[in-house]
């Protein structure tokens, strides 16, 4: 009889802006806070977690074995295992998929998964071989290891420009999407839609401690300026700072178990894992990759897009979502109902699991949800869940 993997807890930290409210937290600390909150939210004994898969992208300066740091900081047993996953922006989602595989294959009964990134703490790099004379040449690890297409030697935003032209997505369409993302995020926060998933963070300061409970970016938008901004990557292009996701800090975590183990522990699952899939495309076409991965996951689940109540598609750029709407025929009203990465932030190691966390909490009992995230190098991951 097949083993069913279920999600019993799902939490995330608030997402901080670059050099903003969460800049003092290293990525493993953000991840550990999310994981501790997930465990505490369902009163799960950390010692029952057998393994952790955790996403982290820009690892320079983070310290040895980021996932192991998260595990031990969150109180997991020293006898548990931990593996760091780097699939760029899909790292967090791939971690959840690997956790599900471990359970479905009968190798584990309880596995934690998620991801974290502190883009504020990404260091600049200098070559180990010193120049005999003159200045050092530095490399921004955040840009080069996280946001640079090494195959075409250009910024990811340049790739997004190519996809926008190829799929005939206009600047106006992208701007309207970005504005809607910010409005949905603000509405979600006003209505308490994120309250159950947020792990508040205490920031220590000279004048006392401050508790951060909500995302930072969505309040910074100036709507009148969105249509007036210059293109960021190409003269006369359509990708701008407003219709792109901002650099961010954050962490997210989920606890997965076999349905049998959850029953044994007296836990009521939030959702079950139905299917998942990955897809690869030409590296320059990475914004299009979710339109390949999502149908793969739906096919494995014997579902169609019409069966899905809510989609979470990571907004690395607004064009990613606009392409998915166009190619997959998805009603925009079903996608990122509480706003997406353009408004909430895109902490790259966390985003893949962050959208699953938000999807779990947004769905109603019995509904199916699908999440998809593109990643640098020309790929994407997708997952289908059902709320229980």
> Hey, where are the domains in the chain?
5-122+246-387
The pLDDT score that the predictor gives to residue 105 is: 98
Closest to 353 measured CA to CA, from 122, 44, 118, 13: 13
Phi, psi of 104 (to 5 degrees): -65, -30
C-alpha distances (whole Å) from 285 to each of 155, 165, 313, 342 are: 13, 11, 16, 19
The pLDDT score that the predictor gives to residue 207 is: 87
5-122+246-387 is a CATH 3.30.460.10 domain: no
C-alpha distances (whole Å) from 71 to each of 56, 102, 115, 315, 377 are: 13, 17, 12, 28, 28
The pLDDT score that the predictor gives to residue 128 is: 86
Q: What is the pLDDT of residues 150-180, one digit of tens each?
A: 999 999 999 999 999 999 999 999 999 999 9
Bridge partner list, 210: 203
Residues (pLDDT < 50) of the chain are none
Determine if the pTM surpasses 0.95.
Answer: yes
- Measured CA to CA, the distance from residue 219 to residue 186 in angstroms comes to 7
Q: What is the pLDDT of residues 242-274, one digit of tens each?
A: 999 999 999 999 999 999 999 999 999 999 999
What token pair was written down for 112?
A: 């934690």
Contacts of residue 133, defined as CB under 8 A and 6 or more positions apart, other chains included, come to: none
Catalytic (active-site) positions: 89, 346, 374
Beta strands at 110-118 and 51-55: parallel, antiparallel or unpaired:
parallel
């Amino acid at each position: 009889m097949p083993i069913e993997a279920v999600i019993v807890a799902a939490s995330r930290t608030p997402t901080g802006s670059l050099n903003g409210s969460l800049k003092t937290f290293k990525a493993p600390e953000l991840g550990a806070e999310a994981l501790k909150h997930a465990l505490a939210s369902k009163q799960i004994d950390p010692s029952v977690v057998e393994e952790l898969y955790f996403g982290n992208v820009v690892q320079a300066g983070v310290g040895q074995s980021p996932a192991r740091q998260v595990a031990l900081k969150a109180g997991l047993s020293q006898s548990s295992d931990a593996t760091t996953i780097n699939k760029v922006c899909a790292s967090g989602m791939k971690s959840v998929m690997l956790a599900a595989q471990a359970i479905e294959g009968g190798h584990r009964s309880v596995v934690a998964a998620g991801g974290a990134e502190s883009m504020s703490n990404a260091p600049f790099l200098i070559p180990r071989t010193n120049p005999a004379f003159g200045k050092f040449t530095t490399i921004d690890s955040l840009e080069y290891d996280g946001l640079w297409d090494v195959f075409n030697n250009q910024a990811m935003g340049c790739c997004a420009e190519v996809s926008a032209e190829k799929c005939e997505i206009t600047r106006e369409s992208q701007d309207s999407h970005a504005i809607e993302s910010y409005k949905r995020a603000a509405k979600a926060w006003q209505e308490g839609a994120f309250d159950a998933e947020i792990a508040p963070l205490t920031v220590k300061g000279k004048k006392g401690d401050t508790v951060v409970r909500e995302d930072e970016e969505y309040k910074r938008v100036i709507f009148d300026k969105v249509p007036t901004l210059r293109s960021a990557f190409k003269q006369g292009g359509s990708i701008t700072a407003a219709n792109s996701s901002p650099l961010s800090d954050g962490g997210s975590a989920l606890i997965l178990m076999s349905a049998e183990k959850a029953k044994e522990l007296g836990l009521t699952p939030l959702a079950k894992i139905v299917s998942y899939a990955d897809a690869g495309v030409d590296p320059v076409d990475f914004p299009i990759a979710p339109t390949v991965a999502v149908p793969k996951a739906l096919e494995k689940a014997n579902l169609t897009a019409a069966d899905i109540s809510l989609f979470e598609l990571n907004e690395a750029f607004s064009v990613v979502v606009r392409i998915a709407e166009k190619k997959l025929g998805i009603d925009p009203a079903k996608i990122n109902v509480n706003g997406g990465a353009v408004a909430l932030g895109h902490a790259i190691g966390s985003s893949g699991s962050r959208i699953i966390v938000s999807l779990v909490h947004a769905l109603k009992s019995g509904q199916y949800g699908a999440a998809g995230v593109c990643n640098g190098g020309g790929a994407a991951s997708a997952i289908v869940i059902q709320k229980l």
